[in-house]
């Protein structure tokens, strides 16, 4: 008897899924949130990146010196598994292998929207992400910190304008960048919410103001509500304490070696 389309899709999906991440890693949270949104069963492995043995993660992700996240998928259940690294790569893979709602990328019938989503995802990663801005906001002088926050706000304003152009609220019709359900950009922005709030606390001012960045702010708020039960979020106060502690150790080490 011929298999149904659903049965064929289920048979083609990986038998075992394991995700390696670390506490406070927004990139790992992106991968976890995508799997959770799709309802994928997976095993989560917490790694301590400051005390790791270097062996397993280096073997799984040698291109990035053992960074997280790493998604290991086993298609036949034999225990081997193929590792995938980089959060953006993982998000697109998850959307292709598990095509059930919510879809993270716009459909192939909307190539302009798909390209725009990929573009702004890479722009955020490279130019705006709290992960790339935290060190600048922790700069030693108030002037340097203020300049870092101004620069981050300016780049977010560019992204906000791009969202309005490529995903206008009058068209998408929902609180998320992509509409009524979270998509690629919402997963990326929302998974960085704790980092964004930590930077706001460090700077003493809101980085994502609802009046200045309505699309970004709405996405963050809606995503927080959507993933509240996933267990993937961390309190920004704890993340801030970890960032400050790490920066203090870095400066102490720099002073000792000077």
Q: Where are the domains of the chain?
A: 12-97, 111-241
Phi first, then psi: give them for residue 84, nearest 5 degrees: -125, 135
Closest CA to 17 of 67, 57, 61, 73: 73
Residue 83 pairs in a beta bridge with: 72
The tokens 């394991």 sit on which residue? 18
Mean pLDDT of 152-161: 94
pLDDT in tens, 91-125: 999 999 999 999 999 999 999 999 999 999 999 98
Fold of 12-97: Glutaredoxin (3.40.30)
Contact predicate 60/66, CB 8 Å = yes
In whole angstroms, what is the distance from residue 44 CA to residue 47 CA?
10
In sequence order, which residues have a C-beta less than 8 Å from that of residue 131 and are 6 or more positions away? 26, 27, 192, 195
- Supply the CATH classification number for the domain 111-241: 1.20.1050.10
Residue 45 pairs in a beta bridge with: 20
- pTM score above 0.85: yes
In whole angstroms, what is the distance from residue 68 CA to residue 61 CA?
8
pLDDT recorded at residue 9: 47
The tokens 């009524």 sit on which residue? 180
């Amino acid at each position: 008897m011929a298999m149904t389309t659903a049965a064929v899709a289920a048979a083609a999906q990986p038998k075992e899924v394991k995700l390696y991440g670390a506490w406070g890693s927004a990139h790992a949270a992106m991968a976890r949130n995508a799997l959770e949104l799709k309802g994928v069963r997976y095993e989560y492995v917490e790694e301590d990146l400051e005390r790791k043995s270097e062996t397993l993660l280096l073997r799984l992700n040698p291109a990035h010196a053992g960074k997280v996240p790493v998604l290991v998928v086993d298609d036949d259940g034999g225990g081997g598994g193929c590792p995938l690294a980089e959060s953006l790569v993982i998000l697109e893979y998850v959307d292709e292998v598990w095509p059930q709602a919510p879809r993270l990328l716009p459909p192939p019938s909307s190539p302009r929207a798909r390209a725009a989503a990929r573009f702004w995802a890479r722009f955020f990663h490279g130019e705006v992400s709290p992960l790339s801005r935290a060190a600048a906001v922790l700069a030693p002088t108030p002037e340097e910190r203020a300049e870092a926050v101004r620069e981050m706000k300016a780049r977010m304003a560019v992204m906000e304008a791009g969202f309005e152009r490529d995903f206008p609220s009058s068209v998408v019709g929902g609180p998320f960048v992509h509409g009524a359900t979270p998509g690629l950009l919402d997963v990326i922005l929302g998974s960085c919410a704790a980092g964004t709030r930590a930077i706001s606390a460090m700077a003493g001012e809101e980085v994502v103001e609802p009046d200045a960045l309505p699309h970004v702010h709405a996405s963050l708020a809606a995503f927080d509500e959507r993933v509240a039960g996933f267990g993937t979020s961390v309190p920004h106060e704890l993340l801030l304490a970890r960032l400050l502690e790490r920066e203090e150790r870095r400066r102490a080490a720099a002073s000792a070696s000077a």
